[in-house]
Structure 1
């Protein structure tokens, strides 16, 4: 009898709350669809595609923000 329950670190560390769709990414980062597409094409932001719908890990988005943080005060945004 086959056990269909998934076990292991890969499944355990990722649940649905770790993923958001492209619309949410654009809204949270205030970017256009074209910018998001460019980031995907250039490998800046990893993604997953299921039946044409794109999903992004929240941790990858936070990593991108941290990686580009300059920490300087007083600079215009």
Structure 2
């Protein structure tokens, strides 16, 4: 599969489908900005894949009022 995106922002990267999708993106050569609520799991994800493939940001995407400040941050 040819994946045209070089950088992707993935939410929910601390468990389940979010992790699986982020890992698939990495396999296809994308740099992943992984977002999730659990810092320890984000750190483990980044450690597993390396800083050349992953950046992390701890944030709870259900905090609707916090999305704009987080995105500008």
> Structure 2 length normalisation: TM-score?
0.26
Structure whose CA Rg is larger? 1
> Structure 1 length normalisation: TM-score?
0.25
